[in-house]
Amino acid sequence: SNPAFRASFRRPILAELASTLLVLTGAYPVVLVGLQRVVGPWLGPFNPDFTYPPLWGALALGTLAGALVTYPYHLWMTRRGVIRWGMGATGEAAPARPMAWYVQLPLALAALGLMVAAVLLATSLPPG
């Protein structure tokens, strides 16, 4: 029954999907290349496990790359009024303008295409 709570579910799902795909577009190549080229020669035939510190370093760098790729998209969405942050003077979340599905779908498909291209590019690079 809380209007702010209901408004949080009105965010465009395809726009959020595009955001997630853009994060993966930046993160996947950085993590893959970082593990193959930087960490891989140290390990030889062994695989890193989740307690291996350079793995977490590569994941942290991948997260930063994903944030850098996604930042312009979120800035654009905020300027369009699709995403709103913070509370208004009344203490309720500022209303966001809805985005039509026929605008969201091409954005999500473009982000998916970018992610697939980044994955293919990262996996086609020669190791070492």
What DSSP state is assigned to residue 55? H
Neighbours of 73 (CB within 10 A): 18
* Global confidence as pTM: 0.64
Q: Does residue 90 surpass a pLDDT of 60?
A: no
Query: Is pLDDT at 73 greater than 70 in this prediction?
Result: yes
- Of the candidates 36, 14, 32, which has an alpha carbon nearest to the alpha carbon of residue 24? 32
Reply yes or no on whether the pLDDT at 96 is more than 70: no
pLDDT at residue 69 greater than cutoff 70: yes
pLDDT(48) > 70: no
Residue with tokens 């850098």: 68
CA distances from 22 to 43, 62, 93, 95 (A): 30, 12, 26, 25
Average confidence (pLDDT) over 15-21: 86
- pLDDT for residue 119: 85
